[in-house]
Amino acid sequence: MGHVTCTEQVKATPEQVWAILSDVTRLPDWAYTEGRFPHPIEAKFGSEQQAGAGVIWVGVSTDGQTATQKITVWEPCQKLVYELQEVNNAPLEMAQINTFDLEAIDDCTKVTWSVDWSVKSGFSLNSLLIRFTGDGAFEEMMIGSLVNLKRLVEQESAGQASNGNHE
């Protein structure tokens, strides 16, 4: 099993980071689009429930893959964990758990994203490539996505602050 952890400091409160991170419909806004993995172009709730453990997220990527994720840990403004349930139209069957930890530090939020992953399908050239290059591909995607998340949250929090000053 592979394991990758990346961290980014965001100049915003944990609440401001959580507002975007916990809303699956915002995922395409901050997902890294330049990496080796297909990136989400659509994301939606797959259940009536939209908050808390048990929520289902469904994402469609650029190559037509549809991934279903289930929230397993939901601690507002602190921790979000989701686990890959199934992927349709994927070249490989994978197991994947994403964990986001938020920690307030001074006027920033430290966002730590960890991914634990493994290839579930049998032996193939694709599975070999992923087994040998997966950590690097995940790291590239995670760093790019965290930079995008930082930019988005900081832009929106700056907008909220300037709107608050004019009211």
Question: Where in the chain are the domains?
Answer: 2-162
The amino acid at residue 14 is P
Q: How many CB atoms lie within 10 A of CB 38?
A: 18
pLDDT, position 164: 61
pLDDT digits (tens, 9 = 90+) for 115-131: 998 777 665 545 445 54
- Tell me how far CA of residue 85 lies from CA of 91, 109, 123, 165, in angstroms: 16, 29, 21, 44
pLDDT digits (tens, 9 = 90+) for 48-99: 999 999 999 999 998 888 999 999 999 999 999 999 998 887 666 778 899 9
More confident of the two residues 65 and 147 = 147
Q: For tokens 């401001």, what's the residue?
A: 16
Question: How many CA atoms, within 13 angstroms, populate the side-chain half-sphere of residue 121?
Answer: 15
- Name the CATH superfamily for 2-162: START domain (3.30.530.20)
Task: Give the mean model confidence (pLDDT) for residues 42-47.
Answer: 94
Q: What are phi and psi of 83, to 5 degrees?
A: -120, 135
